[in-house]
Amino acid sequence: MSYQHQYIDGTHIHYPLGKVVCIGRNYAEHAKELNNPVPTEPLLFIKPGSCVVPLGGGFKIPTERGSVHYEAEIAVLLGKALSTHPTEEEVLDAISGFAPALDLTLREVQTRLKEKGLPWELAKSFDGACVLAPFVSASAFSDLTDIGIRLSINGAVRQDGNSQSMLNPIVPMIQYMAAHFSLHAGDVIMTGTPAGVGALSVGDELVLELPGVSRFTGSVL
Ligand code: ZN
């Protein structure tokens, strides 16, 4: 399924889909639940644009490579390129919008790769591994250190976090990312997942939301 960035009112956003820059273990409670140490510096990885699909009414998951874990995350859409060392104001000016998203992960595959010290692409970058909901304009957000993210599955809340618990808050995180990778309009930042990750099953009904801002439903096909 082809993907194009769009706002919650259905209008298309003209920036082309770029890459998805992600941070791992950005909430201490999530690092602990997977028995990972809390990193002393940001742990970054990139998902290619080819793995992005819209949440739409639903999305597919791989079924023959072990469990597929959901990781609900606040996604940030960039609407401008950033310099290598952007100021806080430049980062704020470059943010186009926010959406809830899923960083899907083949968890057993990732565990095997981690044990061998190998890169994570096989677990994190498969087609469909990044599920994005439509964005709400950044102008609707006054405090980036107080954005909620919540995922319910089959009526039960599984993840309920807030950006106030991030080890690396959104603006310094993007400054750190910009120092390592050129960031362009259309790139997406995935800001890490709070505790509560778990496996998805075909037929699961999801409600993915930035509480009080935007709310979407989708099923695992
Ligand atoms: Zn993640």
pLDDT by 10s per residue, the chain, length 221: 589 999 999 999 999 999 999 999 999 998 888 888 888 899 999 999 999 999 998 999 999 999 999 999 999 999 999 999 999 999 999 999 999 999 999 999 999 999 999 999 999 999 999 999 999 999 999 999 999 999 999 999 999 999 999 999 999 999 999 999 999 999 999 999 999 999 999 999 999 999 999 999 999 99
- Per-residue confidence (pLDDT) for residue 72, from 0 to 100: 98
- How much distance in Å is there from the Cα of 128 to the middle of ligand 1? 14
In a domain, 109, yes or no: yes
Give me ligand 1 centre to Cα 114, in Å. Answer: 15
C-alpha 108 – ligand 1 centre gap (Å):
15
Distance 19 CA to ligand 1 centre (A): 15
Q: Say how many Å lie between the CA of residue 138 and the centre of ligand 1.
A: 22
- How many A from CA of 73 to the centre of ligand 1? 7
Instruction: Look at residue 10 and tell me if it is in a domain.
Output: no
Instruction: Quote the pTM value.
Output: 0.97
Query: Can you spell out the DSSP letters for 76-141?
Result: EEE-S-B-SS--HHHHHHHEEEEEEEEE-EEHHHHHHHHHTT--SHHHH-STT-EEEPPBEEGGG-
Cα of 194 vs centre of ligand 1, distance in Å, is: 9
**Within-domain flag for 28:** yes
CA 155 to centroid of ligand 1, rounded, Å: 22
Instruction: List the CATH number of the domain containing 170.
Output: 3.90.850.10
**Rounded distance, CA 186 to CA 15, Å?**
5
Cβ contacts of 137 within 8 Å, gap of 6 or more: 7, 96, 97
If one counts the domains in the chain, the total is 1
Report the C-alpha gap between 90 and 97 in whole angstroms: 15
204 sits in which H/E element: none
Q: Is residue 70 part of a domain?
A: yes
* Cα–ligand 1 centroid distance for 24 (angstroms): 5
Q: Tell me, in angstroms, the distance from the centre of ligand 1 to residue 60's CA.
A: 18
Residue 107 domain-assigned (yes or no): yes
Q: How far does the centroid of ligand 1 lie from the alpha carbon of residue 118, in Å? A: 17
Does residue 135 lie in a domain region?
yes
- Cβ burial of 24 (10 Å; 0-12, 13-18, 19+) is buried
The rounded Å distance from CA 71 to ligand 1 centre is 5
Taking the centre of ligand 1 as the mean of its atom positions, its distance from the CA of residue 147, in whole angstroms, is 17
Task: Give the Å distance between the CA of 107 and the centre of ligand 1.
Answer: 11
Residue 198 in tokens: 């778990």
Q: Give the domain range for residue 113.
A: 20-148+161-200
Any domain includes 124: yes
Q: How many CA atoms lie within 13 A of 181 on its CB side?
A: 17
Distance 15 CA to ligand 1 centre (A): 23
Is 216 part of any domain? no
Model pLDDT, residue 1? 55
135: β partners:
7
Tokens for 34?
A: 């997977």
List CB-based neighbours of ion ligand 1 within 5 Å: 71, 103, 193
